[in-house]
Amino acid sequence: MKWHTHKLAGVALAIGLGSSPLELVSILAGAVLPDVLDYTIAAGSPELFARLHRGATHWFGWWLLATIAGVTSVLPMPFDGIVFGLGVGGVSHCLLDALTNSGVPLVLGRRYPRLKARLFNTGSLGELVFASAILGIGYLHQQTVLSYGYQAFTWFKCARLSPYSLGALCF
Ligand SMILES: [Zn+2]
């Protein structure tokens, strides 16, 4: 996936989750971080980049762990929100790359088997249509939240608070 698609997905997620500005920035950073890490590790070598791209950095497990760590109050504020955002962004990056023909690794440390839905090629018109659709879904979800007071992701916020303050936010 192109970076603009990953960033659009990050914005859609942040809108849908009703994220704070700090979480929005963290989600956006996480949404491109797997590729940034690949570029950084390759240090300008196209051969090395081709070998390692969509390898260990694109294993969804890392990002899922970060999301869980951000949700479960093991980190002090505001680091919980930052780690949560990076995790959610990273998971979205892996999921989006898994929709393409190249896919992402299923098992850490192995290139195969790979998760790949083969919906479209990176940079294709299909990717642009998909990116527009997910932004629209994020917007519609937010509109639903505003119109009906329905917050599908309230549990995210509730779960991230200590038991003492849980009630204050949920009710
Ligand atoms: Zn990627």
For the purposes of burial, counting CB atoms within 10 Å of the CB of 107, is it exposed (0-12), middle (13-18) or buried (19 or more)?
exposed
Write the CA distances from 4 to 21, 39, 129, 135, 149, integer angstroms. Answer: 19, 16, 12, 11, 30
Question: Does residue 170 have a pLDDT over 50?
Answer: no
Q: Report the distance separating Cα 63 and Cα 49, nearest Å.
A: 21
Ligand 1 mean position, distance from CA 140 (Å): 26
Ligand 1 mean position, distance from CA 22 (Å): 23
Ligand 1 mean position, distance from CA 158 (Å): 31
pLDDT at 171: 43
Phi, psi of 81 (to 5 degrees): -65, -40
The dihedral over CA atoms of 46, 5, 106, 43, expressed in degrees to the nearest 10, equals 20
Ligand 1 mean position, distance from CA 54 (Å): 6
Answer whether 91's CB lies under 8 Å from 68's CB: no
Question: Does residue 167 have a pLDDT over 60?
Answer: no
Ligand 1 mean position, distance from CA 23 (Å): 21
Q: Report the distance separating Cα 5 and Cα 52, nearest Å.
A: 21
Q: Where residue 149 falls among pLDDT bands split at 50, 70, 90? A: low
Domain limits, the chain: 3-170
**pLDDT higher for 35 or 9?**
35
pLDDT at 147: 58
**pLDDT higher for 62 or 14?**
62
Cβ neighbours of 113 (radius 10 Å): 10
Ligand 1 mean position, distance from CA 161 (Å): 31
pLDDT at 100: 87
Instruction: Provide mean pLDDT across the span 32-39.
Output: 96
Instruction: Provide mean pLDDT across the span 102-120.
Output: 89
**Model-level pTM?**
0.80
Ligand 1 mean position, distance from CA 53 (Å): 8
Ligand 1 mean position, distance from CA 149 (Å): 35
Mean pLDDT of the chain, nearest integer: 83
Structure tokens of 132? 């527009």
The interaxial angle of helices 3-17 and 125-148, nearest 10 deg, is 10
Ligand 1 mean position, distance from CA 93 (Å): 6
Instruction: Provide mean pLDDT across the span 27-38.
Output: 96
pLDDT at 164: 47
pLDDT at 146: 57
